[in-house]
Structure formats: C-alpha cells, structure tokens
Structure 1
Amino acid sequence: MELEDAFSDFMRRDWQRKQADGTIRLAVIGIGEFARQRALPAIAEGSYCETSMLVTGSPARVSDVASTYDAEYVVGYDAFLAGDHVDAYDAIYVAAPNALHGRYATAAAEFGKHVLCEKPLEISVDRARNVVDACNDAGVTLMTAYRLQTEPTVRRTRDLVRDGVIGDVVQVHGGFSHPLLEHSDPDTWRLDPELAGGGALVDLGIYPLNTIRFLLECEPTTVFATTHSAGGPFANVDEHVAFQLEYETDATASCTASFDAHASSALELVGTEGMIDIESPFGGVVPQEMTVESGDVRMEYTGPRIDEVREEFDYFGYCVLTGTDPEPDGEDGLADLRTIEAAYESADTGRRIDLE
C-alpha cells in the first residue's frame, strides 16, 4: 500500500461483504448509564438492530426509556432468567455488571438466543469459558463487545500494519484514563471487586490491551504489571495500572490506565520504517484523527466523528443476519482475561509472568 492511498475510502465498512436483510431484535440487559446514554441511542440509529425488550432490576423506573425506544416489554432479571417473553427477542446485549455477564449469557444461549456481551466477557477465565462453551453448545453467535474493532480508524490502522507501511512494529504505547468519580458515586459497582473483577485494568486497560492484539494480530507472550491505589473509594481495586507486554513478533507494548486522572486516551505504533498515532481512540466517539509517517512521508487525516458503539451494534446485527462469525468472539474475550489474570499476578508478586 502506498501511503497516499491509505486514506482513500476511509469510512468503508470492509466487514460488510454480504447483503443483510431485516433487523435483530435485542433484549438489553442492564439499563444503567451506559445503556441509556450510549447503547440504546446507538441501536436506534443503526441499521441492523432494534430494541424489543429491556431487562432491569427496577422495571417501573424505565418506562420512559421503553417508550423512547419502542421496547415492547420490560421485565426484571428473574423474569428474564425464567424465560418470560422469550419469543420477543432474537439476541441479548449484556450491559450488567461484569460478574453477572455469564448468568445472562448462558441463560440466553439455553433459550437459543445470540449474545453480545460487554467486555470483559466475565471476571475470570474459568467463568468466561463457561459462557463460550454454552454458546458453542447452543450454536448461537457470541460476540465480545470490543467496539474499537469495528470502527474505521482502527481498521485502517490494521491495514497499514498488515501492508508494512511502517515496517515491522517495534513499540506500541497505549493509555486510557477517566476520572471515574466525576461521573459516578463512590458506591459504583466498578469499585466493587466482587462485581467488577478488578479496577482500572479491567475497565479501562482492557481497551489498549485488546486493540493492540487486534492490530498486531498476534498474542502477548509475557506481561509485567504494577498497580497503585491511594485508598478511600479505590481501596479495593487498582486505581492506576501500568503494564508491559511482549509479543510473538518481539514487539513490545507499554500501557497505562487510571480511574483517577484527567480524561485522556492515546495509541501510538512505532515501526522500523515509520509510525502511526491515533488521536483519542478509546473514548467511544472517535474523532477520526490520525498521523502516519512512512519513511520521509508524513500524512495527517481528519474525518467525521464516528460513534463506534453504533458501528458495534451494526456489526453484530450483520454477523447474526448473514451467519458471519464475528472477529471479537468469545475466544477473543478469553484471551484478554488470561492476560488480565497474569497482569494481576505480576502486580502481586513483582515478577514478569509468562503467558501460555
């Protein structure tokens, strides 16, 4: 690929290779802030999904949400698990706390429903494996909600890496910070290790972790991590995390994440012949700004902002409608959990951990 051609047809959905007819009816499980502000609007704006049912712990409190998005049914969690209105949806989207993902995903698989599950897939490798096995046994689609894999900037970056525009990738730098308590109460489930499975690494660090795997198309071989918490609301989880990864190609990555720092995200890949810098990749609405250097040539691209959450739902709906296997599948979710568990082991022991 010539660098001058890298930005042609930048917005193309290269995953959209077949005709997809109709829509997938979704039961949205967990009507919290993210579902209300991001997921439900994205579903409504997209082409291949629609919301037909809401599942929540307080059905009476979401009647306005149901009306806004034309959801025909609103049920409690126990009612969902009991199979109420099981014919009203084709698939589920799980936005409940992390430790509850497996409960609803495996129930949906038993009902013969497809599953789009927020990351992390579960709070441990063993529990996530149960989800993967349940969906495989039922023959339903399972997609881990790694939305960055569906949006143009990251996909074009993978094209550039594949085509050797920056040579062999040597170093990757990724960071994501978000001042959690400016947007949530101290009693948020994200600060409860029993519900979240961890802190900044699980909630934020997983973004660069997965995106780098996607871009390099190979697995990390070792991880070294450190965590820090100042106490208070963050006493039981990692408030800040830094982790280093080595990959099968001998590339290395240095990543950070924080629950208590100015909102920021960044991703940079440095190769033997150039570099790629993506502006604010992890915030949810990507500004489509990137810089590419290849040899003596430098180019900058700025495009329209993209709601990667909408792209994610359209991709999932497309996969179900066309029988296409999603790239961010259950095994993808499992792979990241293996690294997360090893990173926490490294932080606890002060040792570099080899990954199988």
Structure 2
Amino acid sequence: MSTRPLLERFTERDWETSTEGTVRFALVGLGWWTVDVVIPAIEESDRCETTVLVSSSAEKADRLAEHHGAERGITYEAFHDGDAADDYDAVYVGTPNAYHLEYVETAADLGKAVLCEKPLEATVERAERLVEAAEATDIPLMTAYRMHTEPAVRRAKELIEDGFIGEPTHVYGNNTQPVLEMIPDPDQWRLDPDVTGYGTSVMDLGIYPLNTARFLLERDPVDVRARMNSEHEAFADVPDQNATATVTLEGGLPLVITTSQHAQTDTQLKIIGTEGSIELHPAFHGEATLHLSKGSLRATIEDVDIAAVEEMREEFDYFADRVCSGESILPDGRHGLADLRTIAAIHESAERGERIEL
C-alpha cells in the first residue's frame, strides 16, 4: 500500500463547507492556555478574530486587549451585564471546569454562539443545564475537542472507514503528564475537586483517548470498569492521581485507558484490527504522528508543521465554518455530555469496585 496519496492531502480541510464570513470572539478566562495558545491560534486562523477579552481583573483584560490588538477588555461582571455584546459574535469559554455553566448561560441569553472547553462542566448535572441553556435559545454550541480537526486523526479515521485495519478488535489509549512540574503549585485548580469536578486525571487527560476513540470509530460506551489511586500528598483531595479504565464500546469493543497527572508525559492511541493497526504516538499534545502497520507494511506518517497552536487554529476555523454556514456541529454539546457521563461512571466504578452500565 502506498502512503503517498495520504501524504499529499494530509492537511486537507475535508470538513470545510464555506470560505465566507468571519467570527468575532469574546474570550472568557485569560489563563495561560487562552493567552499562549488560543489567542495565537485565532491570529493564525482564516475565519476568526479576537475582539473582546474577559477577565476577573479589569486591568488584566485591558492590558492584554491592548497587547493583542483586541477592541476591548471587560470584567466577568460586565460580560454578564451584556457590555460589549455588539463587539463579538461568539464566546470561547476557557475558565476552569466548574465555571463554564454561568458563562454559557449568559452567552445563550445574548444569542451568541459558544465554543466551550472540555470537559463541558464539573458534573453531569451542570453540563446538562449548560446544554439545555444552549438548546433553549438555539445557539450553536461546540465542545472544544481539537482532535476532531487534527489532520493525523482525520486521516486515521479515513483509513479505518476504508477498512485498512479490518474489523477493530482492541483499542488502547494513554495520556499522562507531570502536572506538578508543569505548574508547581499544589493548590492549583486541577487538584481542587470543587473546581475540577470528579477528579483530575480522567477529567483533564483521560477524556482525550475516550473522545478520540469515539470519534474515530463512531461507537459509544456501554459500560465501564475502573481502578484509581492517589498517593502523593498534593492529590489528597482527588481520587485519581493514577487511573485505569476499561470502557466497552458498542459492538463489545474494549477500550483501555490509562492516565495520570503524576507521570512522564506520554500520549498515544492505538487501534488494532483483524488486518492491521493504526497508532497515534504522540497523540494528543502537538505534532501528532501516525503509525501504520499491515502485514509487511510498516509506515510512519508525520507532518512536523502540525503543532499544538495549529491544531487550535483548525478547531477555531471549523467552528467559524459551521457558525457562518449554519451546518451542524460535531462535537456539539450532546457529544461532550456523553463523555462526561462516561467519566462519572468511571469514577463510580472505581469507588464501588463494580462494572457500571451506561
């Protein structure tokens, strides 16, 4: 099998439905991800523009707005009051998990499209309210899964649909990182259950192999079994410093997920079938590399220009494409809600030591 045709169209935007229109964004929550990744991604995008920055601090919002060429910086309170509503078309919600709902509700009241970070909220119940708020006002709502527009993932999906691996038999995904080295603060929000939600590793990292496998295979979970533990003192308030879950997907397909916020950085997703295998390694944090195996074929396909910021650029342009064209969005709010229900079941399984049906 030749991989040349795949390489020649590796970065093709096969999702694009239009090239007309620009979406102006208000960015809510100006942490490092928004400032260092989202704003540069929007600057590189074809269809998006940052016009309003929203923070708890008026000084920070104004300073960053001036630095990045946005029209205005406003506070959270001013956002809820509808200030600057004429200056943006859509809202990106990049706050910690437990604060998503209130900003989506305000955006819905203002009739603004929403791109909300994953997981949608800290609990299933709050995520349900979030989705219902968007549906009640009929605004576009997208869960911010950047892997859906990652070129390596889209080409992998294409190969699976074309029968490259035959019938899938096993799926394995890992996502680990040393969060205390990345952010050396034991009081950070990812270790606070009131803010992060059910836990830290599955909510923040395990969601990647879970959702990417769902997207690639178009199969949803039917039951889960899980184990988790926390030994380091910084993880005393969350149950999943380390976690392992076996998720049964539709058709009896096992997906094994391992994840940790206290381990070496490693990301991979491997799908094995009756005739071949496809692996993304690294998978979830920039420069995704596609490895193919079938019989005597061993091939590695990577595009070194695809980095984390560019993944986000594709995500934002996809969202703008759907907002401008009115075409349906995947992943929408219901899609994101399904993952949060699975994550809740993973935590319940680990706590009870039982298989949990979905």
| 2:189 matches 1:189 | yes
The DSSP-based 3-state class of the residue aligned with 2:129 is helix
After TM superposition, give the deviation of residue 4 of structure 1 in Å.
6.0
Which shifted more, 43-52 or 62-71?
62-71
Structure 2 residue corresponding to 1:344, chosen from 336, 347, 358: 347
Structure 2 residue corresponding to 1:272, chosen from 270, 274, 279: 274
Q: Distance in 1 between matches of 2:141 and 2:170?
A: 32
Q: Residue 150 of structure 2 corresponds to which residue in structure 1?
A: 151
After TM superposition, give the deviation of residue 301 of structure 1 in Å.
1.3
| 2:179 matches 1:180 | yes
Q: Residue 210 of structure 2 corresponds to which residue in structure 1?
A: 209
| 1:65-84 alignment runs, 5 A limit | 65-84=64-83
Say if 2:61 and 2:75, in contact at 8 Å, map to a contact too.
Answer: no
Q: Distance in 2 between matches of 1:319 and 1:327?
A: 9
Deviation string 1:226-284 (CA, Å, 9 cap, x unpaired) is 1111142111112111111111122111111111111111111110100011121111x
Structure 1 residue corresponding to 2:325, chosen from 302, 309, 322: 322
Letter in 2 for 1:105: V
Q: Distance in 2 between matches of 1:48 and 1:320?
A: 10
Deviation string 1:315-354 (CA, Å, 9 cap, x unpaired) is 1111111112111100111100110110010010000111
Structure-2-length-normalised TM-score: 0.95
The DSSP-based 3-state class of the residue aligned with 1:47 is coil
Q: Residue 120 of structure 2 corresponds to which residue in structure 1?
A: 121
The DSSP-based 3-state class of the residue aligned with 2:263 is coil
Say if 1:44 and 1:69, in contact at 8 Å, map to a contact too.
Answer: no
Instruction: State the identity %.
Output: 44
Structure-1-length-normalised TM-score: 0.95
Say if 1:6 and 1:160, in contact at 8 Å, map to a contact too.
Answer: no
Q: Residue 134 of structure 2 corresponds to which residue in structure 1?
A: 135
The DSSP-based 3-state class of the residue aligned with 1:178 is strand
> In the comparison of the two structures, how many residue pairs are matched?
352
Q: Residue 228 of structure 2 corresponds to which residue in structure 1?
A: 227
Say if 1:115 and 1:140, in contact at 8 Å, map to a contact too.
Answer: yes
Structure 2 alignment gaps of length 5 or more: none
Say if 2:349 and 2:355, in contact at 8 Å, map to a contact too.
Answer: yes
Q: Distance in 2 between matches of 1:72 and 1:266?
A: 40
| 1:40-79 alignment runs, 5 A limit | 40-79=39-78
The DSSP-based 3-state class of the residue aligned with 2:27 is strand
The DSSP-based 3-state class of the residue aligned with 2:264 is coil
The DSSP-based 3-state class of the residue aligned with 2:262 is coil
After TM superposition, give the deviation of residue 288 of structure 1 in Å.
4.0
Say if 1:228 and 1:240, in contact at 8 Å, map to a contact too.
Answer: yes
Cα RMSD, aligned residues only: 1.5
Which shifted more, 297-306 or 20-29?
297-306
Q: Residue 245 of structure 1 corresponds to which residue in structure 2?
A: 247
Structure 2 residue corresponding to 1:333, chosen from 323, 332, 336: 336
Q: Distance in 2 between matches of 1:2 and 1:219?
A: 32
Deviation string 1:151-201 (CA, Å, 9 cap, x unpaired) is 110111111111111001111111111111112222111111111102110
Q: Distance in 2 between matches of 1:326 and 1:59?
A: 33
Say if 1:2 and 1:165, in contact at 8 Å, map to a contact too.
Answer: no
Q: Distance in 1 between matches of 2:326 and 2:311?
A: 22
Say if 2:127 and 2:337, in contact at 8 Å, map to a contact too.
Answer: yes
After TM superposition, give the deviation of residue 68 of structure 1 in Å.
2.6
Q: Distance in 2 between matches of 1:272 and 1:2?
A: 20
Which shifted more, 300-309 or 95-104?
300-309
Q: Distance in 2 between matches of 1:268 and 1:278?
A: 6
Letter in 1 for 2:163: G
The DSSP-based 3-state class of the residue aligned with 2:339 is helix
After TM superposition, give the deviation of residue 48 of structure 1 in Å.
1.1
Structure 1 alignment gaps of length 5 or more: none
The DSSP-based 3-state class of the residue aligned with 2:228 is strand
